[in-house]
Structure formats: C-alpha cells, structure tokens
C-alpha cells in the first residue's frame, strides 16, 4: 500500500497559486502534499521562489484533511534550528492533529549562500544537521533548551505553542553514513533515489520499520512534444545528480552545467506526455525498494490546474489500482 502525494514546488509557482493548488490536490484525492523550501528556483525559466512557511500556514488554513510536509527544510544556515522548531510547531497547530511532518535535509548552496556565511563541505553540513535535529527534537519535548555546541548556541529557548507529543521529523538521507546517523532520531526517511539498500539500512539503524518518502517528477501534457520541451526547459537541472546539485551556487551555474543536456535526455529520465501507464510505471522502483510514500512533481507551474483534473480522473485511480491505497498516510511520531 503506497500513499501518493502532490508536490507544491515553490520554484515554479507563486504563493497564491500554491495555496489554490493545495486545495485542488486535496479535492483531487491526493493522499498527502509536500512543499519545497527554496530561496531560488533551479533555473530562471521556473520563475518563482516564494517563502514556503507563510504558504504552509495558508495551506493549513485552506485545506481540511490532507497531510502536509516540508520536502525539505534546511535548518543549518538560512534558518537557525530554534526558528525551524517554532515554525514547525505553529504550522502543526494550524493544520490540526496529525497533519504536519517536518522534513529536514542538509540543503543546497543554491539557497543557503544568501546569508553570506560560505558553504561548508558535506561532512560539516551533516554534522550541523545532526546537531540541528537534536535541538529541534529537544524543543518539541516542551522544556527550556540551553546548548553550547560545535555549531550552534541556544540560550533558554522554549516553544510556548507546540502540539502535545511534538511534531514528527523526517530526515533526508543519501547513503549508508547519513542513514546510520539519522535513522535513530527520525520518525521517517526521505530520499530521492529508490535504493533498496538505503531502505533496509535505515530500518536496521532505526531498530524498527519507519515510513519512507520519495519524490518523482513527471511532465504530463496532452501533447507529448510540448511536455518534452517544457521538461527540458524547466527540469534539466537534475541531470548532474545531487552531489553536484548541492554545490552549485545559482541559476546561472545550473544553466551552464546542463547546457548540453538534450530534450531526449530529459524524456528518457522522466515520463513526458499523456500516457497514464508511463506515469504509473515510473514509481515502481520506489515501491519495489520499500517506499511507503511517493510525492509526484508535475513540471510546469501553469499546467497545475489541468494536471490536477487529469490526476483525479485518470492518474490516481490507475496508481491505486496498481499499488493500493494506504489507510493512514500521515507520518506519526514514533
């Protein structure tokens, strides 16, 4: 049984439109919704980057049942961990019991460089994320937090408005080292690659079976050629892989790094066009790897209303016929 989610991609949509899309996703029957948290789009052609957290508050008020998640917030530079904890607790209360999960990751230079502190190497970023997760988790317990750590100081911080029992935390991992580090303190795993060894390793380190949340881009359109062209224009940025994507500093760098990526390369990596079967099949590696949740990304901001109609009428019924439907898609504190 797999939960299928809707991705509110801040890089390709304005704030009002994102809220409208979230309502549309709930009405269409998606099992959950995730939101990106960027200061920049990946490419200029995407054209947007509103602040994710005010959008989340509006989405929480405008929707009724759909679980929400950041996918992902980076709590190591642009935001101090105590601020992330306060934002998450507030959104969780606005959304109502059990609807919000805080998804965390080590971030990208693209978004974090704006504070002018430099971009640390990956081992340091993981150290910072580990310390940040500890601080956030401690604040969710309700008491005062004081800390003088390697990367962060906290002086008498306390969350005065927080759901009883705290907020579930999902952490993005990419390999054996990060899985071993974060599985013991996370309520769920986030990953963008469907790697079975990552799933089994995470559960082994966690000492239990936890939810796994993946994400898969698609580019639906009634016209396949239009879908391929749009996918190439707005989503070729992924071609370098995440080890590269985390290091590039701006949209010009992503444009330069992907200048030789061809439309056919993009079409070979993500399904483009109207074929429902292709969109259903592309998530199979996640399902086979043991992921419990897969958030779909529809490429192209202005295509979202038509895509939501397609999802309600054709895509979601086909996905559920193939993979089943979960009883409780929300992520819980373990």
Task: Express each pLDDT in 242-267 by its tens digit.
Answer: 889 999 999 999 999 999 999 999 99
Q: What is the per-residue DSSP string for 50-119?
A: --HHHHHHHHHHH-SS--EEES-B--SSSS-HHHHHHHHHHHHHHH-TT-EEEEE----HHHHGGGSS--
**Spatial distance between the Cα atoms of 6 and 117, rounded to a whole number of angstroms:** 33
Q: Is the peptide bond before 72 cis (omega within 30 degrees of 0)?
A: yes
The structure tokens listed for 212 are 């796994």
CA separation (Å) from 236 to 72, 142, 195, 246? 20, 44, 22, 15
Is the confidence at residue 241, as pLDDT, over 90? no
pLDDT tier for residue 284 given thresholds of 50, 70 and 90: very high
Segment 313-333 mean pLDDT:
94
3-class secondary structure, 13: coil
Residue-averaged pLDDT of the chain: 97
Tens-place pLDDT, residues 186-239: 999 999 999 999 999 999 999 999 999 999 999 999 999 999 999 999 999 988
All residues at 6 or more sequence positions from 325 whose CB lies less than 8 Å from its CB, including other chains: 1, 3, 31
Position 332 scores a pLDDT of: 95
4, burial (CB in 10 Å: exposed 0-12, middle 13-18, buried 19+): buried
Please, what's the largest Cα pairwise distance for the chain?
A: 57
275: pLDDT strictly greater than 90: yes
Write the burial class of residue 123 (CB in 10 Å: 0-12 exposed, 13-18 middle, 19+ buried). Answer: exposed
Of 72, 76, 85, which Cα lies nearest the Cα of 152? 76
CA distance 76 to 50: 20
CA distance 90 to 159: 9
pLDDT band at 288 (very low <50, low <70, confident <90, very high): very high
SS3 content of the chain, % helix, strand, coil (to 5): 50, 15, 35
Average pLDDT of span 310-322 = 98
Q: What secondary structure letter does DSSP report for 239?
A: G
With left for phi above 0 and alpha for psi between -120 and 50, is residue 88 left, alpha or beta?
A: alpha
Q: Which two tokens stand for residue 270?
A: 């993500």
Tokens of 259: 């200048």
- Residue in this structure with the two tokens 């998606």, named with its chain if needed: 30
Q: Position of tokens 């259903």?
A: 280
% the chain with pLDDT above 90: 96
Return the active site residues.
Answer: 38, 108
């Amino acid at each position: 049984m797999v939960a299928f989610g809707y991705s509110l991609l801040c890089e390709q949509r304005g704030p009002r439109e994102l809220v409208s899309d979230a309502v549309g996703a709930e009405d269409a029957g998606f099992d959950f919704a995730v939101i990106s948290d960027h200061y920049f789009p990946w490419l200029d052609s995407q054209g947007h980057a509103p602040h994710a957290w005010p959008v989340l508050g509006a989405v929480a008020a405008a929707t009724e049942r759909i679980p929400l998640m950041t996918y992902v917030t980076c709590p190591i530079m642009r935001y101090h961990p105590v601020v992330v904890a306060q934002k998450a607790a507030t959104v969780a209360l606005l959304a109502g019991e059990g609807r919000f999960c805080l998804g965390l990751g080590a971030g990208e230079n693209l978004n974090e460089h704006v504070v002018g502190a430099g971009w640390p190497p990956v081992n340091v970023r993981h150290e910072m994320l580990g310390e940040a997760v500890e601080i956030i988790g401690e604040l969710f317990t309700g008491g005062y937090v004081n800390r003088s750590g390697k990367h962060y100081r906290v002086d008498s911080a306390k969350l005065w408005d927080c759901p009883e029992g705290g907020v579930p935390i999902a952490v993005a991992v990419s390999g054996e080292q990060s899985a071993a580090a974060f599985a013991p303190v996370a309520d769920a795993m986030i990953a963008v690659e469907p790697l079975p060894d990552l799933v089994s390793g995470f559960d082994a380190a966690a000492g239990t079976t936890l939810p796994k949340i993946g994400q898969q881009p698609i580019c639906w359109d009634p016209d396949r050629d239009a879908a391929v062209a749009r996918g190439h224009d707005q989503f070729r940025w992924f071609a370098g892989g995440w080890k590269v994507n985390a290091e590039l500093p701006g949209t010009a760098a992503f444009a330069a790094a992907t200048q030789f990526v061809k439309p056919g390369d993009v079409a070979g990596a993500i399904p483009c066009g109207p074929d429902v079967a292709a969109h259903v099949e592309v998530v199979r590696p996640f399902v086979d790897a043991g992921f419990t949740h897969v958030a779909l990304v529809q490429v192209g901001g202005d295509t979202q209303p038509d895509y939501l109609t397609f999802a309600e009428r054709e895509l979601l019924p086909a996905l559920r016929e193939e993979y089943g439907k979960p009883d409780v898609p929300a992520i819980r504190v373990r």
